[in-house]
């Protein structure tokens, strides 16, 4: 069975419309939940849009309030595998400055991933055509080569606490840790898809397990959600709710967690889906959205989340004050107030036509240290006759009001 997961919803549609089934939708294309419309909560600001190329930004890290790194690609024919089109952007108290990816990656420049603990500790991971992994670290003045972690493939998740405390996921059931001199492999008790934490002794990995309560048996799920915690000494599995479809059970059912956001040792959020293999039965149940909250001692299922205009979506990231960003169209304040966000569309000039339908894609989005601001990277896609456009984009959002 293929791993069950849902993709983060980070798509913004430019105009309201109706779904194919005629159900009313809000302006980001999702069916209405029936809950009261969220209040308007401000707008994204387009910090950088390169209208001269075709491509997108794919990773970002905010080392400080005025020191941000991003990476992306461009290509005349839309081929992101062209090594000539890979580049870095660095914002340090001024304009965005374009750079080549460092030679210290040894040519492993595809699917880059950035993370940092400060302006003098920025990490860049990349993969090669032979599945090798390259690692480079910016020390505030230059890039340094870092030994490769064991294994091959793509680094899917990272968490940098310090120059000598770095975690990466490379493969589903292994976490690699850098202690400043070498990598150590840690076997995980279950498969992991996401990683986040507040400190070197408070780290969460979430995904799915293939054994234990709720797995197997007649009508049983093939997988159940898994949440694993690192306390500085060992990885242990913490209990999470189990899921089961009512009879008749659809084929190959399973539940998994796809993301985790850790606000503090007493507050973490994990989300995922309860799904099945589609297309094998005539009457299919709805996919179930999973949202769990950690209160410092156990995970709680957030009942009624499907009726909440924020909680019914997947979390993208959290702010330093505990505010949560859901996609690019919803923000939930630390007090639980859900607001709806907008973004400024590009004017009809140059290659952008007045009839073009614009979409903003941001993935990933991260919080900016010492502020309430978020910075996201991705692309603006203009759907228009004859000349659709895809432009690398960087945008920021700052919630209104006092922290």
Confidence of residue 22 (pLDDT cuts 50, 70, 90): very low
Tell me the pLDDT tens digit for each residue of 208-255: 999 999 999 877 899 999 999 999 999 999 999 999 999 899 999 999
| In the predicted structure, residue 311 carries a pLDDT above the cut 80 | yes
Is 116 a member of any domain? yes
On whether residue 6 sits in a domain, the answer given is no
CA atoms within 13 A on the CB side of 320: 14
CA distances from 290 to 5, 160, 167, 240 (A): 11, 27, 26, 11
Number of separate domains in the chain: 1
Burial 272-310 (b: 16+ CB within 10 A, else e): bbbbbbeeeeeeeeeeebbbbbbeeeebeeeeebeebbb
What's this model's pTM, rounded to 2 decimal places? 0.89
Tell me the pairing of strands 39-43 and 338-342.
Answer: parallel
Please return the burial class of 115, using the count of CB atoms within 10 Å of its CB with bins 0-12, 13-18 and 19+.
buried
Q: Is residue 1 part of a domain?
A: no
Task: Give the model confidence (pLDDT) of 261-301 as tens digits.
Answer: 999 999 999 999 999 999 888 889 999 999 999 999 999 99
Share above pLDDT 70 across residues of the chain, in percent, rounded to a whole number = 87
Distance of CA 400 to CAs 263, 283, 340, 403, Å? 20, 45, 12, 9
What is the model's pLDDT at position 38?
A: 61
How far, in Å, CA of 180 to CA of 163, rounded?
Answer: 6
* pLDDT (tens digit per residue) in 77-134: 656 666 678 999 999 988 899 999 999 999 999 999 999 999 999 999 999 888 889 9
The single residue listed with the structure tokens 């080392």 is 63
Q: What does the alpha-carbon distance between residue 370 and residue 24 come to, in Å, rounded to a whole number?
A: 40
Output the six-digit token pair for 198.
Answer: 């507040």
Read off the pLDDT of residues 290-301 as tens digits, 9 standing for 90 and up. Answer: 999 999 999 999
Domain enclosing residue 17, as ranges: 11-397
pLDDT of residue 8: 28
pLDDT digits (tens, 9 = 90+) for 165-204: 999 998 889 999 999 999 999 999 999 999 999 999 999 9
Residue 184, in any domain of the structure = yes
Which residues are registered as beta bridge partners of 342? 43
pLDDT value at residue 322: 94
Cα–Cα distance for residue pair 195/154, rounded to 1 Å: 15
pLDDT at 129: 80
Which pLDDT score, from 0 to 100, does residue 79 have? 62
Q: Report pLDDT for 391.
A: 96
Q: Say if residue 27's pLDDT is above 60.
A: no
Q: What CATH number does residue 372 fall under?
A: 2.130.10.10
Q: Is residue 372 part of a domain?
A: yes
Of the ranges 1-10, 141-150, 257-266, which one carries the lowest mean pLDDT score? 1-10
Please tell me which residue, 334 or 152, carries the higher pLDDT value.
334
Give Cα separations from 342 to 63, 310, 384, 396 (angstroms). 26, 15, 21, 12
3 state SS of 105: helix
Give the pLDDT confidence score for residue 304 in this predicted structure: 83
Q: Which residue has the higher pLDDT, 390 or 304?
A: 390
- What pLDDT was estimated at residue 4? 30
Q: Quick check: is 205 in a domain?
A: yes
**Are 166 and 181 within 8 A, CB to CB?**
no
């Amino acid at each position: 069975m293929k791993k069950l997961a849902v993709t983060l919803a980070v798509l913004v549609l430019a105009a309201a419309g109706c779904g194919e089934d005629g159900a009313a939708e809000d302006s980001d294309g999702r069916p209405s939940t029936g809950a009261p419309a969220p209040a308007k909560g401000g707008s994204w600001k387009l910090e950088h849009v390169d209208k001269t190329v075709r491509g997108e930004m794919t990773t970002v890290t905010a080392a400080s309030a005025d020191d941000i790194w991003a990476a992306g690609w461009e290509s005349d024919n839309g081929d992101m595998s062209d090594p000539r089109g890979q580049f870095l952007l660095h914002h340090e108290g001024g304009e965005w400055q374009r750079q080549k990816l460092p030679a210290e990656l040894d040519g492993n420049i595809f699917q880059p991933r950035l993370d940092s603990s400060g302006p003098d500790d920025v990490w860049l991971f990349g993969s090669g055509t032979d599945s090798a992994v390259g690692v480079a670290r910016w020390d505030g003045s230059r890039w340094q080569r870092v030994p490769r972690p064991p294994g091959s493939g793509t680094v899917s998740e990272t968490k940098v606490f310090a120059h000598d405390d770095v975690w990466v996921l490379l493969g589903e059931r292994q976490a690699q840790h850098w202690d400043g001199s070498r990598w150590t492999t840690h076997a995980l008790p279950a498969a992991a898809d996401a990683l986040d934490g507040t400190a070197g002794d408070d780290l969460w990995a979430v995904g799915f397990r293939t054994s234990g309560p709720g797995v197997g048996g007649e009508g049983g799920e093939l997988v159940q959600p898994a949440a694993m915690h690192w306390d500085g000494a060992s990885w242990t599995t913490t209990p999470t709710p189990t899921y089961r479809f009512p009879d008749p059970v659809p084929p190959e059912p399973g539940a998994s967690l796809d993301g985790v956001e850790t606000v503090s040792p007493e507050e973490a959020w994990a989300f995922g889906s309860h799904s099945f293999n589609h297309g094998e039965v005539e009457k299919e149940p709805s996919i179930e959205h999973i949202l769990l909250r950690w209160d410092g001692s156990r995970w709680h299922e957030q009942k009624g989340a499907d009726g909440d205009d924020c909680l019914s979506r997947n979390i993208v990231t959290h702010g330093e004050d505990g505010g949560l960003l859901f996609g690019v169209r919803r923000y939930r304040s630390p007090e639980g107030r859900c607001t709806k966000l907008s973004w400024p569309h590009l004017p009809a000039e140059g290659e952008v036509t007045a009839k073009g339908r614009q979409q903003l894609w941001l993935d990933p989005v991260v919080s900016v240290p010492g502020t309430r601001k978020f910075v996201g990277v991705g692309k603006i896609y203009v759907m228009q006759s004859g000349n659709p456009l895809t432009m690398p984009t960087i945008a920021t959002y700052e919630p209104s009001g006092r922290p």
